[in-house]
């Protein structure tokens, strides 16, 4: 694609990257809620759940545990304790990080959209005041 002379082909190849970035730039007032949703939903998996689950899957067989380059730390009495500890981390992060954290961040994101609209004209402005209808004019007394 880099060797082609066609500007249209190069632009077309770049659109899948540019459009999501452009969309995020438009809704930038919601960067905080978006960042918390990404943290709760993605970081929980990549930092805690995937490594713990990978460790459990790697050392599930006795031959893998015997040939392990690193044994469990001194404060873990056995491989079973290490497995239980990893299972606890997976369950805890699924419930607290992904479950409660995901729920709280998505609730906050939805509340921000309901309050300010998806494409707010003013970043974090107060909603416009509600206009109250004027009372009907009274009859003049003679």
What domain range is 41 assigned to?
30-116
Q: Would you say residue 8 lies in a domain?
A: no
- The tens digit of pLDDT for each residue in 94-105 reads 999 888 988 998
Residue with tokens 């990080």: 97
Output the pTM of the full model. 0.58
- Counting the structural domains of the chain, the total is 1
- The tens digit of pLDDT for each residue in 23-58 reads 877 766 677 787 888 888 888 889 999 999 999 999
Rounded Cα gap, residues 75 and 52, in angstroms: 17
Rounded Cα gap, residues 98 and 46, in angstroms: 11
Rounded Cα gap, residues 50 and 119, in angstroms: 35
Q: Would you say residue 103 lies in a domain?
A: yes
């Amino acid at each position: 694609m880099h060797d082609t002379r066609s500007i249209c082909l190069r632009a077309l190849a770049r659109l899948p990257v540019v459009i999501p970035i452009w969309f995020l730039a438009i809704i930038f007032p919601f960067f905080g809620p978006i960042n918390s949703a990404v943290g709760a939903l993605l970081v929980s998996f990549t930092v805690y759940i995937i490594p713990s689950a990978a460790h459990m899957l790697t050392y599930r067989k006795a031959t893998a545990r015997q040939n392990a380059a690193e044994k469990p730390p001194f404060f873990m009495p056995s491989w079973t304790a290490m497995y239980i500890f990893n299972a606890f981390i997976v369950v805890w992060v699924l419930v607290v990080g992904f479950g409660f954290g995901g729920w709280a961040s998505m609730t906050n994101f939805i509340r921000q959209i309901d309050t300010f609209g998806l494409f707010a004209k003013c970043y974090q402005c107060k909603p416009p005041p509600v206009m109250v209808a004027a009372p009907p004019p009274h009859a003049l007394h003679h």
